[in-house]
Chains A and B, each alone.
Chain A
Amino acid sequence: MTPRHLVSMTLLAGILLTDGGAQAAPPRWELSGTSDQGHYQLTLSCRTPPGTDGFQDCQIRIQDQDGTPASPDNILVDGGMPMHGHGLPTSPVAEKTDQAGQYRIEGLRYNMPGAWVLGFLIQHQKQQEKVLFEFVI
């Protein structure tokens, strides 16, 4: 992880999140990071770790500096393999859900093992900040 990419990032892969201790939820693959300008905290949460066998079912949660769910004007998704010089095989999108600060990622897929970058461009009132995640499939 290079400093210009990300201030902080937390990997919570395979951790069982419990629902009040009553019932174990399915394990999720999560990455968290702060945007390059420091105004947003973004958490990528996926049902499964990234792989090469189909679409990845993911959501993002975005909060401002105070921990309040944020509602930016737009969020763009992009990614690729820096070592190979190519991008994602698809054009995924972030779609707003009913819950504040939560977006569903549609159309996210990877097509080969190796080192990937997945990025989110947060656009709001003519400003934009990005959060980049690096991981290996």
Chain B
Amino acid sequence: MHMPGNRFILALVVLPALLLAGQPGIGRAQETPPAQGQEPKGWNPAEQALIQSLSLSRLPPEPTDPSNHLLGHPEAEALGQKLFFDPRLSRNQHISCASCHQPERAFTDGLTVAQGLGTGLRNTPSLSGAAWQHWFFWDGRKDSLWSQALAPLETPEEHGLTRTEIVSFLLQDPDYRPALKRLADDAHRLGTDLPFPALPAAMPGGTVEQIRHWKALDTDLHQQVDYYFALTGKAIAAFVSTLRPPHSRVDTYAEALAKDQPSDGILSDTELQGLRLFIGPKAQCINCHSGPLLTNQDFHNIGTGLPPDAEGRAAALNRVRFDRFNCLGAFSDAGADDCRELQYMRQDRAHLRGSFKTPGLRNVSNTAPYFHHGQAATLEAVLAHYLQLGKHPDVPPTHAPDIDLTDTETAQLIAFLKALAADTPALDPTP
């Protein structure tokens, strides 16, 4: 693992920011937005390029994850779909992945924070388009979708099982056992008639008793349990990777522009003015909410990191570096050259304190409430948060720009965000 050198630019970067606060940005669209109520009159080439950069057509047709050889594997996708909806993968037999990632709610739950066996710490993010991202959870403590999928299974407030219980259940189940056997590699393939041994409830990061039981297991059994645990996550990820974000009216508009086809009426004037604000220097949303998923997939302090959850990315750095199931780990299918995000991730805690991952904005109006703590109930509340940043001298500085919008502009921006909505196709527990 690469270790970072001195951050010799940091002072240089931060000081001018303070000196230059309030000056207009460089290199962003500089055109003055049209007056309120006036229809936008076309886009300049830079603006057209920014609009196209948000289009779903820019998202690669298939996600890639070199650490998961099951991606795109039809049998793994089918197995993953069954696992995703199976409530038996929880201590009370009532919680599945779909309990929080509900397809009919754009794979969120509508709650402030997740509710499984207990109350979780953070808001449930949508899974739509998740497979095209490279950090997972609000703090990025996982670097692959398959590794992310494993964590809730072992979290007491979510599924509440132990690793041995999960693997024992799957390898004794008449449906799951043959499917996992077929997907396993030769080194880990189970014997035809060999029952998987009954194991005590054990995992390396649970209660004292669970950890003691885990340590008492044979090393080969650790390897076997971890292998099938990882394979389970890879199958779930194979299914989730099929959840391409649905097409919105914003995409229809961008595609019409790209093809020089008529675009009148696809977006309303208010939505178009909101789009102009979104990509322009006044609101600067596109600085972080960029690309076809409307996220730059990085970590920023926007003033939401408050006690008791104030650390954000800073607290996740060592967790992902030393995660047994990370891209560089023994259960990853990736070569070292495939793990550059992990290998070269930024690691200075001070700079990352209070930073959380930029959420994608596709279907954002269907994924309330907002922020990692779910404290913003509406898009209006989200915008109100940004507008008050930098206005109070006692509020610590953030990475967010100082933004001023009129009430009309705020409404236009929200109208644009709502135009990113799209219906999520219905999904059944059985493939």
- Inter-subunit contact A113/B7 (CB<8 Å): no
Is A64 an interface residue, CB under 8 A from the partner?
Answer: no
Q: Please tell me if the beta carbons of B7 and A87 are within 8 angstroms of each other in the complex.
A: yes
Report yes or no: A83 in contact with B6, Cβ–Cβ below 8 A: no
A86 pairs with B399, CB closer than 8 A: yes
A53 CA / B296 CA spacing, docked (Å): 9
Question: Does A52 have its Cβ within 8 Å of any Cβ on chain B?
Answer: yes
Q: Assuming A53-B291, A82-B16, is B345 touching A91 (CB within 8 A)?
A: yes
Interface size counted on chain A using CB atoms at 8 A? 37
Query: CA separation between A113 and B345, bound complex, in Å?
Result: 20
Interface size class of B (residues with CB under 8 A): 35 or more
A126 adjacent to chain B (CB < 8 Å) = no
A80 to B13, CA, bound (A): 6
Residues of B within 8 A of A82 (CB): 12-13, 15-17, 20
Most B CB within 10 A of own CB, among A55, A112, A115: A112
Nearest-neighbor residue (CB-CB) of A89 within chain B: B298
Q: Is B194 an interface residue (CB 8 A)?
A: no
Question: CA A74 – CA B6 in complex, angstroms?
Answer: 12
A137 proximal to B (CB < 8 A): yes
Tell me how far the C-beta of A89 lies from the nearest C-beta in chain B, rounded to whole angstroms: 5
B340 touches A107 (CB 8 A): yes
Can you list, as one digit per residue, whether each of A107-132 has a CB less than 8 Å from chain B (1) or not (0)? Answer: 10101111101010100000000101
Inter-chain contact A83/B20, CB cutoff 8 Å = yes
Question: Contact between B6 and A91 (Cβ–Cβ < 8 Å)?
Answer: no
Residue from A77, A113, A132 within 8 A of B286 (CB atoms):
A113
List 16 extra interface pairs beyond A79-B9, A83-B23, CB under 8 A: A80-B12, A83-B17, A83-B26, A84-B17, A85-B13, A87-B13, A87-B348, A89-B346, A90-B344, A91-B5, A106-B2, A111-B288, A111-B296, A112-B288, A113-B28, A121-B6
23 CB contacts below 8 A, A to B, read A74-B5, A78-B5, A78-B6, A79-B13, A81-B13, A82-B13, A82-B15, A83-B23, A83-B26, A84-B17, A84-B399, A84-B401, A86-B300, A91-B5, A93-B2, A106-B2, A107-B340, A111-B288, A111-B296, A112-B288, A112-B290, A115-B26, A132-B9
Q: B residues engaging A (CB < 8 A)?
A: 2, 4-10, 12-18, 20, 23, 25-28, 50, 286-288, 290-291, 296-300, 340-341, 343-348, 351, 397, 399, 401
Which 4 A-B residue pairs are closest in the complex by CB-CB distance?
A107-B344, A85-B17, A136-B27, A80-B13
Residues of A within 8 A of B (CB): 52-53, 55, 74, 76-93, 106-107, 109, 111-115, 117, 119, 121, 130, 132, 136-137
